[in-house]
C-alpha cells in the first residue's frame, strides 16, 4: 500500500513489482477467434484463408468472414514492415515537438506532406504536443529538413527535439509511398513495394493487372524482394480505438553501473501481454541518441491504468539512474499510421544490451 507523508505518496516496491503482470478487460470483449485472426494477420498478412482458419480453429468460411469483419471494425490496413536500412534510408529520427502557441494543424500537415521525409506524426496531450517519425536518404538531407521544419513552425514558438533511432526493439513505423518513390533501387521493385505497402494481401493476378506485368514476372520480382531482404514482415496496422489509452514516453537516463539490471526489469513490461491479445500492449520501443535516450508507446484500458502500469512503474524501476521521463497520451494521428497490431511481443522483442564487455575498443594510437 502507498505510505502518505504530508502531500507526498511513497510507492513501495510491492505495489509496482507486478505492475507489468495485469489483465486487459478490453480483450475480453472479443472472441478468441477474432483475436487469433488479428494475431496471424499481424504476424503474416499474406497468410491464406486456410492457414488463418487452421490457426483460429474455425472453418474457412468463418475465417473469410472474420477477415472482412476485422477490416471494418478495427480499420485494418494490410501493409509491409520494410527494412529501412537495406533500402538505403539511413537517417531514422523521432522528433518530440512542443508548441508555445496553439498551432494550425492544417498548416502543420500541409508542411509535413510537402516533403517525403516525415512518415508518421501523432498529436498528443501531456508533456509534449506531437511526435514525428522521419527518415531520409542521407544525414545531410535530414539536417536540411530538420532546420526547415524549425523555421516553418517558428510562428508557433516550436521546440523541435530530435533523436536518432539507433535500434527498434519492438514495432516499426509504416512508411509513405512518397519516400519509397525516391529509393535508389530498381523501378520494378519500387512499383511492387508501393502496391504491397498499400495492400500486402494483393494477389499476383491483381498486381499483374495494376502494373501491366506478366504474372510470372510479378512472382519472380516478389521472390527477389524477399531474397534481397527489403521486406521484414507482411503485417497490418489498425486505427486507434477511442476506447483505449495510447501512452507514450520519452526518457533520459544515466547508464551507470547497475543500469542494465534495472533495464532488464523494465523490459519485463515490454514483453508481457495477455494471451491472444487483440492489440499488443506495447507497439513501439526504441533506444535513441540525441535529445532523448529511449521511447516507447503502449496501449492500455484507461489513462489510470497507463499511468500506474507504465509511467509510474518505469519511473520506479529506473529511479536510481537519474531518469527524467516525459509522457503524453495520443490525441489523434495527424499523418501516416501507427503500428497498432497484435504480435507475440516476447518473441518479437529484439533486446539490445549496453554493457562495457560489448563495446569494441578503438585501436591504440601510435
Q: How high is the pLDDT of residue 364?
A: 54
DSSP letter at 307? I
- Kindly report, residue by residue over 112-165, the tens digit of the pLDDT: 999 999 999 999 999 999 999 999 999 999 999 999 999 999 999 999 999 999
The x, y and z cell numbers of residue 292, run together, are 532523448
Quick check: 42 and 343 in contact, CB under 8 A? Answer: yes
- Alpha-carbon distance 328 to 302, whole Å? 13
Q: Which of 93, 34, 20, 11 is nearest to 298 (CA)?
A: 20
Tens of pLDDT, residue by residue over 144-159, are: 999 999 999 999 999 9
Q: What is the DSSP letter of 21?
A: S
R_g of the chain computed on alpha carbons = 22
34 pLDDT band, cuts 50/70/90, is very high
11 neighbors 2 (Cβ within 8 angstroms): yes
CB 274 within 8 A of CB 23: yes
CA distances from 258 to 60, 242, 262, 295, 299 (A): 52, 39, 7, 20, 29
Given a cut of 70, whether residue 17 has pLDDT beyond it is: no
pLDDT at 346: 85
Amino acid at each position: 500500500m502507498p505510505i502518505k507523508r504530508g502531500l507526498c505518496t511513497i510507492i513501495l516496491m510491492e505495489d509496482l513489482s507486478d505492475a507489468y503482470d495485469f489483465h486487459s478487460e478490453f480483450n475480453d470483449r472479443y472472441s478468441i477467434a477474432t483475436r487469433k485472426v488479428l494475431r496471424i494477420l499481424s504476424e503474416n498478412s499474406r497468410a491464406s484463408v486456410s492457414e488463418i482458419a487452421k490457426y483460429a480453429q474455425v472453418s474457412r468460411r468463418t475465417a473469410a468472414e472474420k477477415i472482412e469483419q476485422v477490416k471494418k471494425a478495427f480499420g485494418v490496413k494490410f501493409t509491409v514492415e520494410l527494412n529501412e536500412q537495406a533500402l538505403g534510408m539511413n537517417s531514422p529520427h523521432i522528433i518530440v515537438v512542443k508548441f508555445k502557441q496553439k498551432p494550425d494543424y492544417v498548416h502543420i500537415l500541409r508542411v509535413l506532406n510537402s516533403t517525403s521525409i516525415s512518415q508518421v506524426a501523432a498529436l498528443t496531450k501531456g508533456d509534449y504536443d506531437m511526435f514525428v517519425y522521419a527518415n531520409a536518404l542521407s544525414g545531410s538531407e535530414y539536417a536540411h529538413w530538420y532546420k526547415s521544419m524549425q523555421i516553418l513552425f517558428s510562428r508557433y514558438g516550436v521546440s523541435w527535439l530530435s533523436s536518432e533511432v539507433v535500434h527498434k526493439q519492438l514495432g516499426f513505423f509504416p512508411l509513405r509511398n512518397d519516400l519509397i518513390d525516391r529509393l535508389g533501387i530498381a523501378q520494378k521493385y519500387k512499383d511492387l513495394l508501393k502496391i504491397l505497402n498499400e495492400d500486402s494481401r494483393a494477389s499476383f493476378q491483381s498486381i499483374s493487372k495494376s502494373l501491366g506485368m506478366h504474372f510470372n514476372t510479378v512472382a519472380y520480382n516478389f521472390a527477389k524482394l524477399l531474397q534481397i531482404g527489403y521486406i521484414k514482415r507482411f503485417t497490418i496496422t489498425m486505427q486507434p480505438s477511442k476506447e483505449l489509452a495510447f501512452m507514450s514516453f520519452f526518457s533520459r537516463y544515466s547508464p551507470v553501473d547497475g543500469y542494465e539490471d534495472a533495464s532488464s526489469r523494465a523490459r519485463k513490461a515490454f514483453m508481457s501481454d495477455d494471451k491472444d491479445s487483440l492489440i499488443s500492449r506495447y507497439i513501439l520501443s526504441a533506444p535513441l541518441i540525441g535529445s532523448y535516450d529511449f521511447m516507447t508507446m503502449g496501449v492500455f484500458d484507461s489513462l489510470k491504468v497507463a499511468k500506474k502500469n507504465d509511467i509510474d512503474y518505469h519511473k520506479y524501476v529506473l529511479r536510481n539512474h537519474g531518469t527524467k521521463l516525459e509522457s503524453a497520451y495520443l490525441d489523434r494521428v495527424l499523418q501516416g499510421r501507427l503500428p497498432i497490431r497484435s504480435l507475440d511481443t516476447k518473441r518479437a522483442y529484439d533486446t539490445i544490451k549496453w554493457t562495457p564487455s560489448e563495446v569494441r575498443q578503438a585501436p591504440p594510437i601510435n
